[in-house]
Amino acid sequence: MSFKTEAFVLKAHAWREADRVYYLFTPEEGVIKVVLKSAAKSKSKLAGHLLPFSKVKVMIGRGKLDHMAGVHTIVDYKNIRTNLRNMSLASSIAELFLNEDHGGDKRQEFELLSDLFSYINDEDVSPERKLWLVRVFLWKYLSLSGWQPQLDNCQICGKSIQAGQYMPGRGIICIEHNNNHSVSLSEKLANFLKFIILAEWKDLAEISIDNELNREWLRVSQLFYQAVYDRPSQALKLFIYG
């Protein structure tokens, strides 16, 4: 039995003598592990299409171990592969996908990843802006996986509020419930977060925020990621301090 799917090449390594294992992210099944036989032989045409971070169409033979039966490139994202900074961003995102499955809708995650990689690949987008877009991506990605912050009602007493404190992993709470774990959340940031989680990428392209709001967003993002991810990862360090 075999099936065709689109996929992102997240990672690959040599396996056995001449084979190679690929970790693909697919809109149907999330991350899957697929073996390419005899990849090391110079004649392997398939390997040439399985470049890191590229979007491909693959034919996969199902078995005890899935194997690659056919592949062609849909988008190469050459500027990701050939620029260290871009590659480091893309690797960090790939690491998140490889480490953990948060159970979000894979089709939506796939589209989100397509959009983000297009921006990282775009030479007209500045490195600072790319990092900014990766932060947006994380809020969108985690919101898809059930971590969407609740920002309209206090998560403790239920009162409708516009500003207050941010309770990590949950959302907004009234100032009077303030504790060691929460930080202040301005109305401006609450509105900004609500906007980026739902906005189309094209509507985000024009957005810029002032330094003060950016600092507040960074602080809240740090708490958000830490609430979701138990262990520290390269990715999070990069997104928080990069």
Which residues make up the interface to Zn ion (CB under 5 A)? 154, 156-157, 159, 174
Closest CA to 31 of 76, 96, 92: 96
Going 42 to 46 to 49 to 55, the CA torsion angle's sign is negative
Minimum CB separation of residue 187 from Zn ion in Å reads 15
Minimum CB separation of residue 177 from Zn ion in Å reads 5
Residue nearer to Zn ion on the CB measure, 154 or 236: 154
Minimum CB separation of residue 154 from Zn ion in Å reads 3
Minimum CB separation of residue 150 from Zn ion in Å reads 12
Residue nearer to Zn ion on the CB measure, 92 or 155: 155
Tokens of 188: 């401006």
Confirm if 75 and 55 have CB atoms less than 8 A apart: yes
Minimum CB separation of residue 191 from Zn ion in Å reads 19
Residue nearer to Zn ion on the CB measure, 12 or 220: 220
Closest CA to 37 of 5, 9, 69: 69
Residue nearer to Zn ion on the CB measure, 54 or 155: 155
Confirm if 77 and 35 have CB atoms less than 8 A apart: no
Residue nearer to Zn ion on the CB measure, 42 or 160: 160
Number of Cβ within 10 Å of residue 4's Cβ equals: 11
The DSSP secondary structure of 20-78, one letter per residue, reads EEEEEEETTTEEEEEEETTTTSTT-TTGGG--TT-EEEEEEE-SSS-EEEEEEEEE--H
